[in-house]
Amino acid sequence: MLFAFSVAPSGGEGAGASVHEAVAAAIRIVRESGIPHRTDSMFTTLEGEWDECMDVIKRATEAVGEYGTRVSLVLKADIRPGYSGELTGKLERLEKALDGEG
């Protein structure tokens, strides 16, 4: 299963407050989990089983909550039993299709 999530605090210090420290706290939890993941400028995607991924997302969300009075969480899941390696597999299939091989 793939879980893409984005988490950010609000209601913190000042109108122009940056969220990079809060996001770093969340990503630290993701990295320490050992779960395969990829982070880009918009989302972090985890690949694993339901319970292990949701535990990491919950802990990352709680960590971000330390930086504001509210937390915004966006979550998308691709639940496809019996498949693994999709963190890279989907991209490989896309590249093949773009090259006219798929």
Residue 101 confidence (pLDDT): 77
Domains in the chain: ranges and CATH: 2-98 (3.30.70.930)
Residue 46 confidence (pLDDT): 98
More confident residue, 92 or 18: 92
Residue 19 confidence (pLDDT): 85
In tens, the pLDDT along 13-68 reads 655 567 889 999 999 999 999 999 999 999 999 999 999 999 999 999 999 999 98
Evaluate the CA torsion angle 76, 82, 87, 91 in order and state its sign.
negative
Rounding to the nearest 10 degrees, give the CA dihedral for residues 57, 63, 67, 71.
30
